[in-house]
Amino acid sequence: MLESDVVTPQPLLEAVDVHRYFGRRSPVRAVDGVDVRIEQGRSVGIAGESGSGKSTLLRLLLRLQETTSGTISHRGTPLAELSGERLAAYHRGVQAVFQDPGGSFNPRHRIRDVITEPARVANGLSSTQRVDLARTMLASVDLPMEFADRFPHELSGGQRQRVAIARALSCRPEVILLDEPVTALDISIRGTIINLLVDRANEGSVTYAVVSHDLTAIYHMTEYLYVMRRGVVVEEGPTAELIETPLHPYTRRLVDAIGDPLAGHRSAGERLADDDAEGLDERVPDLVEVAPGRRARLVRPEAAATQRI
């Protein structure tokens, strides 16, 4: 097979060696050298807990903040160079759904204004068009059309999240970045939202980047996973493999905690440790390929080979 036969398409969004520091004197290194690729048709998960930098990374990908160093590109064009029509195309192509509760919508706007905002900015709509579009979007996420006249606080959390998804989909984006999309919802309805999102992705029309500390949502929605801790990626690889056979101890801890919240603390009176006691400097081992398709920062990468099934 000739090299030239293999054509790698431009990723929808790509972050290359991105750093984001806050503050001047002893800066907080929120994101400290991260590479992430979101390719069409391959939904990506970015897992991590507080302080991991995942939310900052999300905001960088959404062009809501600027990188301290490193580049983020949309279809090959660095975000910092976008302007005019290309900037508009970026906004049409990249949308977001945030966590809610309560904060994702302007409390003074009715649902019909909220749900059609991206479309209005992209195309400009007359007021009848606005109402029609709102109704269509509501129907597409199984919400009654009367909701168009309501205010956000009159809807439940699950209903608001569906509105947020409909809004994100209204411009037919290529990629939707989701920040903790189901964390604030009741457990019994998380499935509804995840199913809705997965259906849309399966229809071929949209790719996701899901940022969450909830591995179960990521497990069901994504094909590739980055695990972040303290500003760096500690492990990455295909989602199912990573979760079924984690190689990095932090990933393993996250996975174990899901089925069993007491994992690691089963015995009574175990000496509890400070949060920072296991203060490894995450950056010390490099991020290298430790198994085919799997990269991780391991102190002893060779040991990983023995952990494969």
Q: Which is nearer to other proteins, 189 or 280 (CB)?
A: 189
The least CB distance from residue 95 to other proteins, in Å, is: 6
Residue range at the interface with other proteins (CB under 8 A); choices 8-16, 35-43, 116-124, 133-141: 116-124
Sole binder of other proteins in the list 19, 20, 54, 59 (CB under 8 A): 59
Q: Residue 180: which of 147, 208, 139 has the closest Cα?
A: 208
If one asks whether residue 107 binds other proteins (CB under 8 A), the answer comes out as yes
Centre a 10 Å sphere on the Cβ of residue 89 and count the other Cβ atoms it contains.
Answer: 16
Give the nearest distance from C-beta 8 to other proteins in angstroms. 26
Q: Is the dihedral of CA 78, 79, 80, 81 positive or negative?
A: positive
Q: Is residue 240 at the binding interface for other proteins, with CB under 8 A as the rule?
A: yes
Residues 10-29 that bind other proteins (CB under 8 A): none
Q: Which of 22, 27, 64, 69 touches other proteins (CB under 8 A)? A: 64
Q: Binding to other proteins by residue 100, rule CB under 8 A?
A: yes
Number of residues in the chain: 309
Q: How far is the CB of 117 from other proteins (least distance, A)?
A: 5
Q: Is the dihedral of CA 74, 141, 196, 225 positive or negative?
A: positive
Instruction: Please tell me the distance from the alpha carbon of residue 128 to that of residue 139, in angstroms, as a whole number.
Output: 17
Segment 123 to 152, residues that bind other proteins, using CB under 8 A: 150-151
DSSP 3-state of 11: coil
Q: How far apart are CA 232 and CA 35, in angstroms?
A: 9
In whole angstroms, the minimum distance from the beta carbon of 126 to other proteins comes to 18
Binding to other proteins by residue 187, rule CB under 8 A?
A: yes
Residue 8 or 202 with smaller CB distance to other proteins: 202
- CB-wise, 67 or 99, nearer to other proteins? 99
> What is the three-class DSSP state of 35?
strand
Is residue 80 close enough to count as binding other proteins by CB under 8 A? no
Residue among 236, 229, 193, 196 nearest 213 (CA): 229
Could you say which of 66, 81, 154, 289 contacts other proteins (CB under 8 A)?
Answer: 154
- Contact between 94 and other proteins per CB under 8 A: yes
Task: Report the SS3 class of residue 217.
Answer: helix
Distance CA 64, CA 76 (A): 18
The C-alpha atoms of residue 38 and residue 75 are separated, in whole angstroms, by 10
Nearest approach, Cβ of residue 20 and other proteins (Å): 16
> Closest separation between CB of residue 181 and other proteins, Å?
12
- CA 260 to the chain's CA centroid: 24
